[in-house]
Amino acid sequence: MDFTAEAILIVGSFLLFISILASKISTKLGIPTLLIFLAIGMLAGSEGIGGISLHNAALAKVLGAVTLTLILFSGGLDTEYTHIRPIIWHGVLLSTIGVLVTAFGIGYFIYWVTDFNLVESLLVGSIISSTDAAAVFSILRSKNIHLKHNLAPTLELESGSNDVMAFFLMMFFTGLLRSEGEMEFASAIPIFFKEMIIGGTVGFLVGKAMVWVVNKAQLAYESLYPGLTLSMILFTYSATNFIHGSGFLAVYIAALMLGSQDFLHKKSLIRFYDGVTWLMQVVMFIVLGLLVYPKKLIPVAGIGVFISLVLMFIARPLGVFLSLAFFKKVGRKQKLFISWVGLRGAVPIVFATYPLLE
């Protein structure tokens, strides 16, 4: 098929239609919805029944960055700061120490059981170390789950903020591979704190500014407010990265600041971003599925499942228990639950495209 505008729209709209209908099946069967979207993309790919050949990792990277930005903003917008204030240090340690321990733990295991060198193994460990905000928000909110001991806000805060550490580690080990070991981890620590400080500061200031702009803009049409906030979100992400800060952290904190205040059309904006986030996830997972070659997965399926089990049963719980070791009020059952709800989703797949393009 020639990739004309009409052909792209026909195929794209059909895949989108099928994916959205398939989400109903996944709900009934208890299968993760995002897995269905990914499978549909794989079926439509070059080795599936669709035969669509897509070799554009750059497209997936850009699409993934935009999607993650919207996911973090949507999650933060629907989170009250008063709910996360009592457990803010739980979330901070889980999203930093927890990710670090998980990345190095699973990274060294990968080094032990595969032919990868140590840096390559730690790179893979970094890519799969963070939990996925979309998956966690979706499970906790769509199922109407009511958890005790502040577990829900802890999980939401962790999943919304731990991409920063995972992204930093991923970029560091990618750079280490390119420099052939000339970089030192100690020299990267100040860079991490600089990115955190810049991202946090920009996010705080933008969040305050967004409240003022939305309330004072007095636009003629209510439907223009989503476009107004969307422009500010994307500008915040890109501008923060441009000045060497963490764009993801800036967006999440800006969303928390905005969501904790009263502003015009708050409910309609929350619904808008919830819908846009789902739409972007569908499109992103279809594109990621198109990039996958199923035949290449078969030879590594066994070791991949083995690594996943070690991540679930050893590396992730180790990171959680060490991060929360000083919080005596967090019992063993709560720590185990947090370990098990360390859901993975779009983030590792999107992060995996970065080393391909660096």
- Predicted confidence (pLDDT) per residue in 203-233, tens digit: 999 999 999 999 999 898 989 999 999 999 9
Tell me the range of 4-8, 159-163, 275-279 where mean pLDDT is highest: 275-279
**Would you say residue 139 has pLDDT above 70?**
no
Structural contact between residues 40 and 289, judged by C-beta atoms closer than 8 angstroms: yes
Write the single-letter amino acid at 174.
T
**Would you say residue 269 has pLDDT above 80?**
yes
SS3 136: helix
Q: Is 302 exposed, middle or buried (0-12, 13-18, 19+ CB in 10 A)?
A: exposed
The 8-class DSSP code of residue 81 comes to H
The predicted pLDDT at position 188 comes to: 77
**Would you say residue 182 has pLDDT above 70?**
no
**What average pLDDT does the segment 115-134 reach?**
89
Query: The pTM is what?
Result: 0.85
The dihedral formed by the CA atoms of 94, 99, 101 and 102, expressed in degrees to the nearest 10: 120
Structural contact between residues 126 and 348, judged by C-beta atoms closer than 8 angstroms: no
Lookup result for tokens 């989108």:
16
Domain spanning 5-357: which CATH class is it, in words?
mainly alpha
**What percent of the chain is modeled with pLDDT above 90?**
40
The predicted pLDDT at position 145 comes to: 64
Q: Which of 76, 100, 108 is nearest to 320 (CA)?
A: 100
Radius of gyration from C-alpha coordinates of the chain? 20
The 8-class DSSP code of residue 183 comes to S
Structural contact between residues 165 and 138, judged by C-beta atoms closer than 8 angstroms: no
What is the C-alpha to C-alpha distance for residues 18 and 92, in angstroms, rounded to an integer? 39
- The set of residues, in sequence order, having a beta carbon less than 8 Å from that of 297 and lying 6+ positions away, is 304
What is the band of 257 on the pLDDT scale with cuts at 50, 70, 90?
very high
Q: Which of 210, 189, 195 is nearest to 240 (CA)?
A: 195
Integer angstrom CA distances of residue 248 from 18, 242, 243, 267, 281: 31, 12, 13, 23, 17
The residue ranges of every structural domain in the chain are 5-357
**What average pLDDT does the segment 8-30 reach?**
83
The predicted-structure confidence for 83-122, as pLDDT tens digits, reads as follows: 888 899 998 999 999 999 999 999 999 999 999 999 999 9
The predicted pLDDT at position 183 comes to: 61
What is the C-alpha to C-alpha distance for residues 97 and 321, in angstroms, rounded to an integer? 10
Which run of H or E residues covers position 10? helix 5-29
What is the band of 346 on the pLDDT scale with cuts at 50, 70, 90?
confident
What is the C-alpha to C-alpha distance for residues 40 and 37, in angstroms, rounded to an integer? 5
**Would you say residue 38 has pLDDT above 90?**
no
Q: Which of 48, 176, 84 is nearest to 122 (CA)?
A: 176
Per the prediction, the chain carries an average pLDDT of 86
**What percent of the chain is modeled with pLDDT above 70?**
93
Q: Is 230 exposed, middle or buried (0-12, 13-18, 19+ CB in 10 A)?
A: middle
